[in-house]
Amino acid sequence: MTTNEEFRVLSPTAILGYGFPESSFKRGIERKPHLIAVDAGSTDPGPYYLGAGKAFTDRAFVKRDLRYMIKEGVRLGIPVVVGTAGGSGASVHLEWCRTIIEEIAQEEKLSFKMGVIPSDVDKQAVKKALREGRISPLACVHELTEGLIDETTYLVAQIGIEPIIEALQAGCNVVLAGRCYDPAVFAALPVMQGYDEGLALHMGKILECAAIAATPGSGADCALGILKKDSFILEALNPKRRFTCESAAAHTLYEKSDPYHLPGPGGSINLEDCSFTDAGDGRVEVKGSRHEKTPRYLIKLEGARPIGYRSISIAGTRDPIMIAGIDKIIDEVKQQISDMSGENDRSQQLFFHVYGKNGVMGPLEPLTQTASHELCIVIEALCPTQEQADTLCSVARSTLLHYGYEGRISTAGNLAFPFSPSDIKMGQVFEFSIYHLMDPGDEKLFATHIENYQDGRKA
């Protein structure tokens, strides 16, 4: 049984470092939350950040957001939980975020106990699981091999609620987790206190994006979740926004291939009997969510490997003749580059992204007739070395710039370049090499390391 009639969770922002209005945060604090929690990352920005060990949010704003959260959390005795530290949650990202918290503790002379939960997985353990048949690919994902494991730079597993609960039970005021199942940071403490796991996880699923789930949505604003015995209520903390049944339901469908089930570590949220009710004053009450455990406790693995180097050039055209024949022109340009390159031909590593035609969806674009009066063409070269990518991009740009296509009137040049220099080195490129489910068996993957701060100094 729960000790309180309701459990209030303050979600300050959609991703740590996106920011939030101070006024919204203060309104949230005035509601006396039992938990301040934030999701700090995602695979949405692609594999580069995991593979390269870089954060995709700005350090200054991550520190700004954390300063508000940790100062108020420590002052008022409210636990603060951060998941997917540094954007991707690997050891290098976790340390990046831990250092920021340490700086805040020193600058504000704060005293607290912090649990740090790494999510990196040993490659040998993954190979062993692969050989024992305990790894399976997610939908539309390749089979895993030991070679791909070796080529992976950083390999993480999604943390569920259990390791966070362990850290909280150990008395940690602040919990900093590596790669984390998004709803877990919001659900762990209320589940520990006896609230329904299905409702807590569903509420966390919505709160992980904070005010994006309100209307008008914003990724840089706060939201409040109020968990009760058999429901939860969503509330915006900015008078400019409100939750509606439509906005709450729409965000429940966000990032899901199945509208009724949301899988996570060890189970799935069943939404078949879920209902959304207008609770007045811009609030929505949600009922009927339930958590169903899976026969085996499976966790998601994520890893990325380097595949080469990229250079790009961005250009535009407003010539209706070129626009009408752009597909044929690009094919002919690639053929000319191939002919010029001889045995060093890399034209198959050259890509043209045509925005205004099908730059977003590519061959899946259902509209086949180009109606734009202008096009943006992004020339991309992806090669084994940066030098090769630079060369291919340069040749493609100059060839397309001066290509004599059928019907051309002006010979001065076919493209308009918004930047000088026109070619941009993008550096190393990564792809997701591991995006699989693993049964960890009897192995304990996640352990909490505890740090104590006294008046800003690490004890």
Q: DSSP for 243-266, please give it.
A: --HHHHHHHHSTT-SSTTEEEETT
Q: What is the pLDDT of residue 459?
A: 86
Q: What is the mean pLDDT of residues 82-103?
A: 98
- Tokens describing residue 429: 């490129």
Distance CA 286, CA 274 (A): 7
Q: What is the pLDDT of residue 223?
A: 98
Per-residue pLDDT reduced to its tens digit, 9-23: 999 999 999 999 999
Q: What is the pLDDT of residue 204?
A: 97
Per-residue pLDDT reduced to its tens digit, 321-341: 999 999 999 999 999 999 998
Contacts of 258 (CB under 8 A, 6+ apart): none
Distance CA 27, CA 238 (A): 8
Q: Please list, residue by residue across 231-269, b when 16 or more beta carbons sit within 10 angstroms of its beta carbon and e when fewer do.
A: bbbbbbbbeebbbbeebbbebbeeeeeeeeebbbbbbbb
Q: How far is CA 140 from CA 143, 156, 439, in A?
A: 10, 20, 19
> Residue 354 carries which side chain, given as an amino acid letter?
V
What global pTM score does this model have?
A: 0.94
Q: Would you give the distance in Å from CA 204 to the centre of its chain?
A: 15
The SS3 assignment for 284 reads strand
Is there a contact between 88 and 432 (Cβ–Cβ < 8 Å)? no
Per-residue pLDDT reduced to its tens digit, 237-248: 999 999 999 999
Q: What is the pLDDT of residue 288?
A: 97
Per-residue pLDDT reduced to its tens digit, 435-449: 999 999 888 899 999
Distance CA 320, CA 322 (A): 5
Distance CA 370, CA 317 (A): 13
Q: How much of the chain exceeds pLDDT 90, in percent?
A: 93
Does the pLDDT at position 250 exceed 50?
A: yes
Q: Please list, residue by residue across 312-336, b when 16 or more beta carbons sit within 10 angstroms of its beta carbon and e when fewer do.
A: bbbbebebebbbebbeebbebbbeb
- Tokens describing residue 52: 């390269």
- Which helix (DSSP H) or strand (DSSP E) does residue 425 occupy? strand 423-438
Q: How far is CA 377 from CA 200, 316, 331, 391, 401, in A?
A: 46, 6, 14, 18, 11
3 confidence band (pLDDT: 50, 70, 90) = low
Per-residue pLDDT reduced to its tens digit, 355-381: 999 999 999 999 988 889 999 999 999
Q: Domain spans of the chain?
A: 7-119+158-298+439-458, 306-433
Distance CA 248, CA 267 (A): 22
Q: What is the pLDDT of residue 138?
A: 92
Distance CA 406, CA 454 (A): 75
- Nearest CA to 425 out of 305, 306, 309, 308 is that of 309
The SS3 assignment for 30 reads helix
Does the pLDDT at position 1 exceed 50?
A: no
Per-residue pLDDT reduced to its tens digit, 113-157: 999 999 999 999 999 999 999 999 998 899 999 999 999 999 999
- Per the document, the length of the chain is 459
Q: Hey, which CATH number is domain 306-433, 1.10.150, 1.10.3470, 3.30.70, 3.30.300?
A: 3.30.70
Bridge partner residues of 112 (DSSP): 453
- Which helix (DSSP H) or strand (DSSP E) does residue 333 occupy? helix 326-341
Q: What is the pLDDT of residue 410?
A: 83
Averaged pLDDT of the chain:
96
213 confidence band (pLDDT: 50, 70, 90) = very high
Does the pLDDT at position 2 exceed 70?
A: no
345 confidence band (pLDDT: 50, 70, 90) = confident
> Residue 392 carries which side chain, given as an amino acid letter?
L
Report helix angle 184-192 to 161-169, nearest 10.
Answer: 50
- Nearest CA to 125 out of 442, 430, 448, 432 is that of 442
- Tokens describing residue 38: 């934030």
Per-residue pLDDT reduced to its tens digit, 260-276: 999 999 999 999 999 99
- Which helix (DSSP H) or strand (DSSP E) does residue 174 occupy? strand 174-177
Does the pLDDT at position 176 exceed 70?
A: yes
